[in-house]
Chains A and B, each alone.
Chain A
């Protein structure tokens, strides 16, 4: 309503002695800018206890990965004495010693870097591939969906470990960056390339369900473009299951690295990783259970931290879940 119309209406109302409410909009209270989905979600996250527990734990592990010496209590993970082989935890050496007689706590602390790189990098690739491919397949349907879904089926037919095994075996002879390194990046990429399909299917099915909803038709009727509908209207309603799935998958991927090591294609000693430590500890689980216990505890804590953050984020993105 223009000012002129407004004034006219007010004049009419005075003449007729009526009030429609149309002539007096109350716009005075709205000085702040419009809340977006993310600013509302952040306001919720800030008040979520689980989010903060998860965030603090994650931050702790990230600091541990970047500056392991801060957490190793002055021990060198490579200074080993076979006389201490498999010694139990003590006041000086909280996590005890491993088979080689190395301080186990510093080993576990130094393992954070490789394990986190593998877990986080792999899960990010899974998330990005899953969301992008799944959203495109679900939204456009038809031939596009057919082609993308069959590609996913082909990857499903290859077992994760077998696919990663072949890729990591052949990788070093190629000149593709990351893949040819045999480092944690190559392991992460190998695991992600053969593990993104479930995320893709989750996103695809959600997008198909949300696509036919009335509010998407309404958005289209209001003149929103395809990309706006997909990114603003469909994805926020479709990401919840895949967020939960990927946070759990972080742990699975960190553990899968151990299997690759066992098969001789993953990280190799003297590299440090929780997967390597759990793998090595299994041989002596009866005589020295602490060798499996400690890396398992930190792995569990890491996974838990991500699950807590993922759960909180999922709730934050759904206004109906917010109190």
Chain B
């Protein structure tokens, strides 16, 4: 793994192989009180230059699936099954040392809370420079020069002066930029952003998202954006995968999904967000609670909260919502949803 960016930074992985392929990923946490099924068969692909948003509420498994890709889940208690292929190589069967070498130059990650994700005892320049010392064996002087360059690139004002400052001396937005600088230091092929703007106020959110977009345009990296913020998804992402109870329940381009949802859960999400056109009207929250991941309801996991559900005799054969698990299927060109009655939902 010496200087991988010279061969891959141009944005051309081996033809036909997606950058990242997640194949039927399962993550369970075995605890004394029972097994928590955090991720239950998630599959997706990511191409270079693509932005995939993974949307879902707390506990939908979106962060856990990202941590599984990153290889930072402790196993045990976590049990990971399925396939995670980075440029065709399966991360799960690879040795720990090979996996470690991919983290940073291959896949890297931005965390939600930048203050707690930066080590309080080191200057930000040291932490950004650490990437070059760990992966490239750079000298301290070289690492510091690179750190300033990166801080400039993520538009931290007066980078050369602030490189020796400590994380607590930065504002929230600047800290998140430091985090981004660390994550993009080695020109990763894939950047996973786990709720990168949740801890920031709205104006800073927009700046950080703009920065991520610019960096992506510049380097051609694949971006996985994990969020529960519909506005962010709408602005930045090409494609969106909606997660519920550890499954992908709907997938398609952002335009399609946001215009007309094919799954009742996505539909509910859209209706629960204030919109300018509906000013003065009432918001419609999704009734009920997200499921307990240690006891996910049988059949469609969303059926207890679903307004479109059909139970017993009302259901079509093999499409009973409380007993038959709906597979993720093609419901319209380029769109997939895991609902027995997507066609009805689409019409609404």
Contact = CB atoms under 8 A, between A and B. Distances in A.
Verify that A and B bind, or say they do not: yes
A174 interface: no
Nearest to B76: A142
Interface of B: 70-72, 100-105, 108-109, 111, 113, 116-123, 125-126, 129-131, 134-135, 139-141, 143-145, 147-149, 152-153, 155, 159-161, 163-164, 166, 168, 179, 182-183, 214, 218
Contacts of A218: 109, 111, 117-118, 179, 182
A21 to B, nearest CB: 5
Contact of B152 (A26, A217, A237, A317): A26
Interface in A1-28: 1, 5, 9, 20-22, 24-28
A29 B161 contact: yes
B326 to A, nearest CB: 34
Given A34-B126, A215-B117, A222-B134, 11 more contacts: A25-B152, A26-B148, A29-B148, A30-B144, A34-B125, A36-B126, A219-B130, A220-B72, A223-B134, A225-B100, A237-B121
A236 interface: yes
Contacts of B120: 215, 237, 318-320
A145 to B, nearest CB: 14
Q: Is the interface of B mostly helix, strand, loop or mixed?
A: helix
Nearest to B129: A34
B160 A215 contact: no
Contacts of B145: 27, 30
B117 to A, nearest CB: 4
A27 B140 contact: no
A228 B141 contact: no
A214 interface: yes
A305 B259 CA distance: 72
A320 B144 contact: no
Contacts of B70: 221
Given A36-B140, A223-B135, A25 B103 contact: no
Bin chain A's interface residue count.
Answer: 35 or more
B14 to A, nearest CB: 22
Interface in A220-268: 220-225, 228, 232-233, 236-237
A319 B168 contact: yes
B175 to A, nearest CB: 12
A222 B160 contact: no
B100 A27 contact: no
A12 to B, nearest CB: 11
Given A215-B119, A318-B120, A221 B101 contact: no
Contact of B116 (A213, A219, A220): A213
The 8 closest A-B pairs by CB, nearest first: A223-B104, A223-B103, A29-B160, A34-B144, A34-B140, A33-B141, A214-B116, A25-B152
Interface of A: 1, 5, 9, 20-22, 24-30, 32-37, 40, 213-215, 217-225, 228, 232-233, 236-237, 317-320
A220 B134 CA distance: 11
A25 B140 CA distance: 19
A178 to B, nearest CB: 36
Contacts of A20: 214
B122 A37 contact: yes
A38 to B, nearest CB: 11
A22 B117 contact: no
A26 B159 contact: yes
7 contacts: A5-B218, A22-B218, A28-B160, A33-B141, A222-B108, A317-B121, A318-B120
A29 B164 CA distance: 12
A233 to B, nearest CB: 6
Contacts of A28: 160
Nearest to A212: B74
Contacts of B214: 20, 22
Contact of A221 (B108, B126, B149): B108
A129 to B, nearest CB: 24
Contact of A34 (B119, B141, B168, B179): B141
